[in-house]
Amino acid sequence: MVQVFIGLGSNLGDRAYYLHRALVEIANSRQIIMKRYSSVYETEPVGKKEQPRFLNMAAELESTLLPQDLLQRLKEIENTLGRTHAEHWGPREIDLDILYYGDEVFNGEKLQLPHPEIANRRFVLVPMNELAGEFLDPMQRLSMKELLRRCSDTRTVRKISLPIDLQVKV
């Protein structure tokens, strides 16, 4: 089993519903064990500014799937939940990204590990810091806490309380 961290985000439709359904689908996937997940944060969009705010969170998993197979499973979940691929950095129903796959470093066409933008994104670092503040980025050899401290991203990341129960059996 490999420790994996993923990022989840949604800014179209019922954002909380999409996060909840994604967590349930991940938790019910073969060869994946849901360990825990962060609080939910409302965040400003990156790139295209004229779009709704996102709900973002992070989750810690354990998996026996290879990174490419895990990515394929996450894309299947996105498709099951109705994700439409309209534009780069545009609005989306659900977005599931592998942030870390153990301490693996990989640079492929469809998958880069660790995710290349982590250190530049507060919407990733804040929930990661909540989950695993001492986790070391294998490229920079800095903890999530230190990466967050050094992050130059000034976009708002605000912890929110949701009207629905996001509890998933772990």
φ, ψ for residue 81 (rounded to 5)? -85, 0
- Helical (H) or strand (E) element with 3: strand 2-10
Among the listed residues 83, 121, 122, 137, the single catalytic one is 83
Among the listed residues 21, 73, 92, 122, the single catalytic one is 92
Is residue 165 annotated as a catalytic residue, yes or no? Answer: no
**Which single residue is written with the structure tokens 């806490």?**
145
According to DSSP, the residues that pair with 42 across neighbouring strands are: 55, 158
- Asked whether the beta carbons of 78 and 94 are under 8 A apart, the reply is yes
Q: How far apart are CA 17 and CA 82, in angstroms?
A: 12
Distances from the Cα of 154 to the Cαs of 6, 34, 36, 43, 114, in angstroms? 22, 31, 27, 11, 22
Is residue 36 annotated as a catalytic residue, yes or no? Answer: no
Distances from the Cα of 126 to the Cαs of 2, 14, 40, 44, 133, in angstroms? 22, 22, 10, 13, 9
Among the listed residues 95, 121, 122, 153, the single catalytic one is 95
Q: Could you give the residue numbers annotated as active site?
A: 83, 92, 95, 97
